[in-house]
C-alpha cells in the first residue's frame, strides 16, 4: 500500500490569467484573483480525472515496505503477513517482483529514496543503486543489477519515502510540454466555474461534461496494479 503527498506545490499554472481572460472575453482586472483561483481548481480537477501531474511539483510517495523478491514458492515464506497469499507481481523474475510504480506522471526526476532500516535508522539509497524508468506512465523504479535487492526495512507504517518531481514543465519547455488538450480542458472548466457561481443542477455534479472528458480520456493514466506492499 502506498500514499502520495505534495511536498512542494506548483509555482505556476499551465494556463496563465491573461490566456484565461482572453478565453473568457473578460476585459476588467477586477476578477484576476478569482480567475487565478478558478484556474488552479480546474487544473486540480484535470489532474484527479487523468491521474497526471499537470503542474510541476514535488511529491513524496510512501510505502510500508519495499516490494519483495518473490515467486509462487518463496511468497509463502515471506515474513510480512500480508504476503502469505499469492502476490500480485508473483514472478521468478526478480526485477519485476521488486518494481515500484510512481504515481502522478510524467516523472521529471527522483530526488531521494529513504527508508527506516531494522535498527530504526533512516537510510538513503545511493542513486547509483537503482534504475528509474521515467518514460513509462506511471514511472517505474527497479533496484540496479549490481545492487541486487531492495534492503530490509523496519516493520512500521510508511517505512519507505520516495521524493520526486513530476509534471509538465511550466512554462512549457522543449522537453515536456503541456498537451494542448489538457490546457483547453482547463480553460473550459475555468469558464464553467466563472459563469456558474452556484452549485450544479442535481444529477450532474458527479461527472465532467462529455466534451471535456473527450479531451482528457486520451491522456488518462490507466493502471490497475500499483506497487505491492
| 77-81, 98-102, 108-112, 206-210: range with highest mean pLDDT | 108-112
When pLDDT is averaged across residues 95-109 and rounded to a whole number, the result is 86
The whole-number pLDDT of residue 186 equals 96
- Confidence band for 194, pLDDT divided at 50, 70 and 90: very high
The pLDDT assigned to 107 comes to 94
Mean pLDDT, residues 199-217: 73
SS3 for 20?
helix
Locate the domains of the chain by residue range. 16-55+178-219, 57-166
CB burial readout 163-189, b (16+ within 10 A) else e: bbbbbbbbeeeeebebbebbbbbbbbb
Q: What pLDDT score does 161 carry? A: 96
Average pLDDT over all residues of the chain: 83
Span 100-112, mean pLDDT? 94
CATH level 2 (architecture), domain 16-55+178-219: Orthogonal Bundle (1.10)
Per DSSP, helices labelled H in 51-157 are 94-97
pTM of this prediction?
0.82
Answer yes or no: is pLDDT of 29 > 50: yes
Span 113-125, mean pLDDT?
95
| Predicted pLDDT of residue 171 | 55
Contacts by residues 130-137 (CB-CB < 8 Å, ≥ 24 positions apart): 132/107, 134/106, 134/107, 134/108, 134/109, 136/105, 137/105, 137/106, 137/221
60/111 Cα distance (integer angstroms): 10
How many CA atoms does the CB half-sphere of 28 hold within 13 Å? 4
Q: Which residue has better confidence, 20 or 77?
A: 20
* pLDDT (average), residues 189-199: 86
Amino acid at each position: 500500500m502506498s500514499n502520495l503527498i505534495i511536498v512542494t506545490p506548483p509555482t505556476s499554472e499551465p494556463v496563465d490569467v491573461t490566456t484565461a481572460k482572453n478565453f473568457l472575453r473578460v476585459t476588467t482586472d477586477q476578477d484576476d484573483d478569482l480567475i487565478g483561483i478558478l484556474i488552479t481548481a480546474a487544473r486540480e480537477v484535470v489532474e484527479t480525472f487523468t491521474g497526471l501531474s499537470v503542474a510541476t511539483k514535488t511529491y513524496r510517495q510512501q510505502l510500508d515496505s519495499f516490494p519483495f523478491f518473490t515467486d509462487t514458492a518463496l511468497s509463502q515464506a515471506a515474513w510480512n503477513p500480508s504476503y502469505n497469499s499469492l502476490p500480485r507481481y508473483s514472478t521468478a523474475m526478480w526485477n519485476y517482483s521488486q518494481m515500484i510504480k510512481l504515481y502522478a506522471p510524467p516523472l521529471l526526476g527522483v530526488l531521494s529514496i529513504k527508508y527506516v532500516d531494522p535498527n530504526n535508522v533512516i537510510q538513503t539509497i545511493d542513486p547509483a543503486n537503482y534504475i528509474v524508468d521515467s518514460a513509462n506512465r506511471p514511472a517505474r523504479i527497479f533496484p540496479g543489477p549490481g545492487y541486487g535487492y531492495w534492503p530490509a526495512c523496519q516493520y512500521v507504517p510508511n517505512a519507505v519515502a520516495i521524493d520526486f518531481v513530476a509534471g509538465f514543465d511550466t512554462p512549457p519547455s522543449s522537453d515536456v510540454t503541456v498537451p494542448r488538450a489538457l490546457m483547453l480542458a482547463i480553460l473550459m472548466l475555468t469558464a464553467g466555474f466563472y459563469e456558474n457561481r452556484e452549485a450544479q443542477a442535481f444529477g450532474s455534479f458527479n461527472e465532467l461534461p462529455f466534451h471535456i472528458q473527450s479531451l482528457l480520456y486520451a491522456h488518462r493514466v490507466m493502471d490497475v496494479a500499483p506497487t505491492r506492499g
